[in-house]
Amino acid sequence: MAVITCIDDLKRLHKRRTPKMFYDYAESGSYTEQTFRENTTDFQKIRLRQKVAVDMEGRSTATKMIGRDVAMPVALAPVGLTGMQRADGEIKAARAAEKAGIPFTLSTMSICSIEDVAAHTTDPFWFQLYVMKDEDFVDATLERAKKAGCSALVLTLDLQILGQRHKDLKNGLTAPPKLTLPVLLDLATKWQWGFEMLQTKRRFFGNIVGHAKGVSDASSLGSWTAEQFDPKLDWSKIARIRDQWGGKLILKGILDEDDARLARDFGADAMIVSNHGGRQLDGALSAIRMLPKIREAVGPEMEIFMDSGIRSGQDVLKALALGANSTFIGRAFIHGLGAMGEQGVATALEIIRKELDITMALCGEKNVHDLGRHNVLLPTGFL
Ligand code: FNR
């Protein structure tokens, strides 16, 4: 591919260069994938209002996320198995985020450990926690994140039971992959992926393997995680984790007005309006559709981030226009990583930054803080 101009180009390269099992893992949703699809198609239904003869010099995409200066209203979302898209993927993505001046969030289910990422970056990153039944494991993990200098905890609330993704079952997803004949045939054309993977010195699932009781290698991890996601997660458990953490807290996976009010009253520093990229409750409304309802429910003061479906700077602008203070991206950066490693993530971020900047100019806006409902036209029945 000669010139890469959009996230879709990176997605095509990602598909070509990464084992099918891991590409499918990223590019899928649960059950019928209705919510996964609508996360992106609903963005396309939102139209932008063009403005002319407005001074557009001196524009800025800079803002703050929970008090931290960011170059644009975008952070990298926690993505499990990032290090299977490319060897050392979490380190590569974190470094690209650092260079772009935006936060990186490390998933509990990452391949590289908290310490691996800390050793290869200088900016503090954010850590995402899945609440497990084993409180000793949770507390020890929080201590490790604090020690590594993580400056915020992203607590994911929408995955206490795993949404079923058909492709993962059909592909027999494991990390590392089992070297079956179909996998070997697939790898034959993706040798660079395999070559880089063989070079890595990281221990797989470094946040869990060797830290959780009874998990000494990646093969014993599957059964541990399946039985460890805590189905009893409630606000009292969230409060216990908040007290144990003691730092900035972002609640992820809010998609309902009542839950949003509870999250606000609980005193979270921010919430992420998200349906986990359509990977959990299939049939839920898209996150961009729920966003204005949630903004209205919690009022103007609460810091709201939004993810699920963002594939361009135009989408970022639309999310801000409908009430988000900032956004997170998942697949948009994963496509960059799978396509071209660290350089690919950097390319994805630069594409989005430039799209946001140019679209702001054509909408007659100089500052991300001024974006609002006046910038968009919504189809009947959207709200
Ligand atoms: C995710 N997501 C996710 N979220 C989380 O809190 N912890 C995790 O480990 C993961 N893992 C994960 C893996 C993959 C492959 C994807 C695509 C997503 C959800 C993620 O943080 C975010 O909510 C979505 O990716 C946002 O949707 P888009 O931007 O991918 O459409």
ipTM: 1.00
Pairing relationship of beta strands 68-70 and 63-65 according to DSSP bridges? antiparallel
Q: Is there an atom of ligand 1 within 6 Å of 155 CB?
A: no
Instruction: Establish whether residue 131 lines the binding site of ligand 1, counting it when its CB lies within 6 angstroms of any ligand atom.
Output: no
Domain locations in the chain?
Answer: 7-371
* Structure token digits, residue 22: 């891991």
CATH topology of domain 7-371: TIM Barrel (3.20.20)
Across-strand partners of 105?
Answer: 126
What pLDDT, on the 0 to 100 scale, is given for residue 221?
87
**Region 325-350: what's the mean pLDDT?**
98
What's the pTM? 0.98
Split at pLDDT 50, 70, 90, the class of 220 is: confident
Structure token digits, residue 185: 């045939």
Is residue 370 over pLDDT 90?
A: yes
Question: Nearest residue CA, atom 3 of ligand 1?
Answer: 79
> Which of 361, 349, 362 has the alpha carbon at shortest distance from 98?
349
- C-alpha span between 298 and 293 (Å, rounded): 9
The one catalytic residue in 14, 120, 211, 276 is 276
pLDDT at residue 222 greater than cutoff 90: no
Instruction: Say whether 276 is catalytic.
Output: yes
